[in-house]
């Protein structure tokens, strides 16, 4: 199997007042009417990310993308862990409710930012969301002393399984602090309280790799598949496999995902898989961490 790129799906900026720049970090699901609902992050006039929603028909994407006028989640109140922005990560259905798990941003002094995992819940089929807590659901602790971000969650037999980004430190490069983060694992019984023991799922390949981000995990039968971003000189999308979701083997760069135009000529990042009918798609960002918008590719049989 290989991916066949299809170019831009949602160009940025968007035709709504709060989305001044970017369309980043997509997460999509198929609705009962056959259309696809996609969550994404855009930045307002102050540079703060907010989470929005759009719907489209994968069979006819050129017919238009219906973007909701107002964001579904805005930055938190002054001083909160997410007062500088909220970025989309994943959506989980459980017990008739929808859990929107996201990354909250706050600004730092000695380092540029802090990131923590937050959660908002919807009881009206995703029309509105409210935070489950004013605090992060994945705060700093001894195994995650710097930051947490980008959760991806599967619920299996009542067990919530999360793959997430964990900061391992900061280093000064060319006179500026630069983050280091990789992908770890956590478990929960309710999606709110999480148990972490520091298990690393995707570690740094070598000293040049300093950012491993935005995991997307899919279970196909007995096999777990993960797509994620890895960064040395620039972000590229990679793939890994696992038999248990805990111990992973990196398989390298994703086959078929290369630049498909000026919009992703410098990087490809933030992958998210969408299964729609018999088709599988990969949504992702290109240059500028989403400044050009969201592109997509289709999984096709190939030699």
Computed on alpha carbons and rounded to an integer, the radius of gyration of the chain in Å comes to: 18
**pLDDT higher than 50, residue 303:** no
For the chain, the average pLDDT equals 95
Total-model pTM:
0.96
pLDDT of residue 302: 55
pLDDT of residue 68: 95
CA angle in degrees (0–180, nearest 5) for 260-18-167: 65
Number of domains in the chain: 1
**pLDDT higher than 60, residue 127:** yes
Q: CA distances (Å), 116 to each of 65, 85, 149, 203, 278, in order? A: 30, 11, 5, 20, 35
Task: State in Å, rounded, how far the first CA of the chain is from the last one.
Answer: 7
Neighbours of 276 (CB within 10 A): 17
In this prediction, residues 219-235 reach a mean pLDDT of 95
pLDDT of residue 1: 65
Percent of the chain residues past pLDDT 70, beyond the cut: 99
CATH (domain of 215) = 2.115.10.20
- All residues at 6 or more sequence positions from 215 whose CB lies less than 8 Å from its CB, including other chains: 150, 152, 163, 164, 165, 183, 201, 202, 226, 227, 228
Beta bridge partners of 113: 107
- SS3 of 188-243: the string is ECCCCCEEEEEEEEECCCCCCCCEEEEEEEEEECCEEEEEEEEECCCEEEEEEEEC
Domain, as residue range, for 141: 2-300
**Which two structure tokens, joined as six digits, stand for 95?**
């017990």
């Amino acid at each position: 199997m290989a991916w066949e790129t299809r170019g831009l799906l949602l160009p940025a900026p968007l035709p709504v007042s709060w989305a001044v720049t970017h369309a980043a970090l997509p997460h999509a699901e198929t609705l009962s009417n056959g259309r696809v609902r996609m969550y994404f992050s855009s930045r307002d006039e102050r540079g703060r990310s907010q989470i929005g929603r759009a719907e489209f028909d994968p069979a006819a994407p050129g017919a238009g993308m219906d973007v909701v006028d107002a964001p579904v989640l805005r930055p938190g109140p002054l001083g909160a862990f997410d007062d500088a922005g909220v970025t989309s990560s994943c959506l989980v259905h459980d017990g008739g409710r929808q859990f929107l798990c996201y990354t909250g941003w706050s600004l730092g002094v000695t380092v540029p930012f802090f990131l923590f995992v937050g959660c908002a819940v919807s009881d009206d089929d995703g029309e509105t969301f409210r935070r489950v807590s004013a605090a992060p659901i994945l705060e700093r602790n001894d195994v995650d002393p710097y930051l947490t971000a980008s959760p991806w969650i599967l619920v299996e037999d009542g067990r919530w399984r999360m793959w997430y980004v964990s900061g391992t430190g900061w280093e000064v490069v060319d006179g500026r602090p630069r983050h280091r983060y990789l992908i770890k694992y956590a478990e929960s019984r309710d999606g709110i309280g999480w148990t972490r023991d520091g298990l690393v799922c995707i570690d740094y390949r070598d000293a040049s790799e300093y950012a491993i981000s935005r995991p997307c995990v899919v279970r196909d039968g007995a096999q777990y598949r993960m797509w994620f971003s890895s960064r040395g000189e620039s972000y590229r999308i990679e793939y890994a496999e696992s038999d248990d979701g805990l111990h992973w083997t990196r398989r390298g760069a994703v086959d078929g995902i290369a630049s498909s135009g000026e919009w992703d000529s410098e990087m490809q990042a933030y992958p998210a898989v969408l299964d729609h009918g018999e088709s599988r798609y990969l949504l992702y960002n290109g240059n500028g961490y989403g400044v050009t918008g969201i592109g997509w590719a289709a999984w096709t049989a190939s030699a």
